[in-house]
Amino acid sequence: MSTRTYNVEGMTCQHCVNSVTGEINKLAGIGTVTVDLQAQTVTVTAESIDDEAIREAIDEAGYQVVSQS
């Protein structure tokens, strides 16, 4: 399993968490998605992480990835 953390702009509430989590969970092979509103991060654990697909899912939810680690 691989883990990546993305810094995401604009998330402020539980609705944001649900939107981002829901879009990422639509992708194949996702294990867990953890959103930290205070830190403005999304951490994804998956069998194989496709950064572009994760970025597109976050964008589809209405938010923007500003960096990743």
Map out the domains of the chain with their CATH numbers. Answer: 2-68 (3.30.70.100)
| pLDDT, mean of residues 29-38 | 97
38: tokens are 């205070």
Chain-centroid distance, C-alpha 22: 9
Query: Can you give the pTM of this predicted structure?
Result: 0.93
- How far apart CA 2 and CA 43 sit, in angstroms, is 10
When pLDDT is cut at 50, 70 and 90, the band that residue 51 belongs to is very high
When pLDDT is cut at 50, 70 and 90, the band that residue 69 belongs to is confident
- How far apart CA 2 and CA 49 sit, in angstroms, is 7
